[in-house]
């Protein structure tokens, strides 16, 4: 069913670019229409009524008129502004990363209610001050579920045997998950996966985010699972997210002193 000539929808801004000195094109995620591109005419002019409210990291109510190339934004109202999310650079960089993953995952104009709800929840959690890394991993795991690409972490992807805690595991994203120690796996040996890493991957699939937030985890395990999921998501979406470079930059600690000679 074609959308009516004028319609109003909830929306979150995923990305934007300036089209001219006055106009800006926005990529929006909406629950019912999915991803769509819309033009905000005159938004860059100081007199614009749209200017301040058509921003990322907020749930908006947007009125649009159907246009030939892009639908045209006619009115914006801010529903929820996740203002605290912007206070912390890592949290803001994570929010951009999550938006980029949603953008990459969606085709234009296909309903996207689960993904919209997932992004909305992730922004609420970042806004509430939850550790950005935990929110990002939780989001990645649920995004993979939505894409039908849930990593296999209970059975070996080669022989289908249930993994046991006293064996060695390898993480093989191109095969869809974990390979056991008995299977040859791919020609070149892939990343080893620690038992703690395997347990944490299972936790992200099984626990709700409140329980995940309470987990006491070794930083090395969190880094391991971050790298593992990053690789997996990169393969499912067929390339790495551009926003990761920025996220890594804001997180990198100040230059470490040179190691003592020895
Ligand atoms: Zn196996």
Q: What does the pLDDT look like over 143-174, one tens digit per residue?
A: 999 999 999 999 999 999 999 999 999 999 99
More confident residue, 51 or 132: 132
Measured in Å, residue 201 CA sits from the centre of ligand 1 at 18
> Residue 52 in 3-state DSSP?
helix
Given this model, what pLDDT does residue 242 score? 85
pLDDT, averaged across the chain: 91
Chain segment 48-84, per-residue pLDDT in tens: 888 778 899 999 999 999 998 899 999 999 999 999 9
Measured in Å, residue 158 CA sits from the centre of ligand 1 at 5
Which residues are within 8 A (CB) of 175 and not within 5 positions of it... i.e. 6 or more apart?
157, 158, 185, 186
Given this model, what pLDDT does residue 47 score? 87
Measured in Å, residue 173 CA sits from the centre of ligand 1 at 15
Chain segment 169-194, per-residue pLDDT in tens: 999 999 999 999 999 876 665 678 99
Chain segment 246-261, per-residue pLDDT in tens: 888 888 765 555 554 4
Given this model, what pLDDT does residue 236 score? 95
Q: Give the 3-state secondary structure of 161-199.
A: CECCCCCCEEEEHHHCEEECCCCCCCCCCCCEECHHHHH
Measured in Å, residue 15 CA sits from the centre of ligand 1 at 42
Given this model, what pLDDT does residue 191 score? 77
Given this model, what pLDDT does residue 129 score? 95
Percent of the chain with pLDDT over 90: 77
In the predicted structure, residue 9 carries a pLDDT above the cut 50? yes
Give the C-alpha separation, 190 to 216, whole Å.
27
Measured in Å, residue 151 CA sits from the centre of ligand 1 at 15
């Amino acid at each position: 069913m074609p959308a009516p000539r004028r319609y109003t929808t909830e929306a979150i801004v995923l990305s934007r670019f300036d089209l001219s000195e006055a106009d800006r094109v926005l990529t929006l995620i909406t629950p019912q229409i999915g991803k769509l591109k819309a033009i905000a005419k005159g938004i860059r002019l100081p007199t614009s009524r749209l200017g301040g409210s058509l921003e990322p990291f907020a749930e908006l109510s947007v009125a649009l008129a159907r246009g030939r190339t892009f639908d045209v934004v006619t009115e914006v109202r801010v529903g929820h502004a996740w203002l605290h999310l912007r206070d912390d650079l890592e949290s803001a960089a994570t929010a951009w990363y999550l938006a980029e993953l949603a953008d990459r995952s969606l085709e234009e104009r296909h309903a996207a209610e689960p993904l919209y709800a997932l992004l909305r929840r992730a922004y609420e959690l970042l806004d509430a001050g939850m550790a950005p890394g935990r929110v990002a991993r939780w989001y990645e795991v649920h995004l993979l579920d939505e894409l039908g690409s849930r990593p296999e972490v209970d059975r070996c992807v080669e022989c289908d045997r249930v993994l046991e805690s006293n064996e060695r595991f390898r993480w093989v994203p191109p095969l869809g998950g974990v390979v056991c120690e008995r299977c040859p796996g791919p020609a070149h040996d892939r990343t080893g996966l620690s038992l703690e890493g395997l347990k944490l991957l299972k936790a992200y699939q099984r626990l709700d985010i409140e329980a995940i937030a309470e987990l006491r985890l070794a930083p090395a395990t969190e880094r391991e699972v971050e790298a593992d999921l990053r690789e997996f998501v990169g393969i499912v979406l067929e390339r790495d997210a551009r926003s990761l470079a920025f996220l890594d930059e804001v997180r990198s600690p100040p230059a470490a002193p040179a190691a003592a000679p020895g």
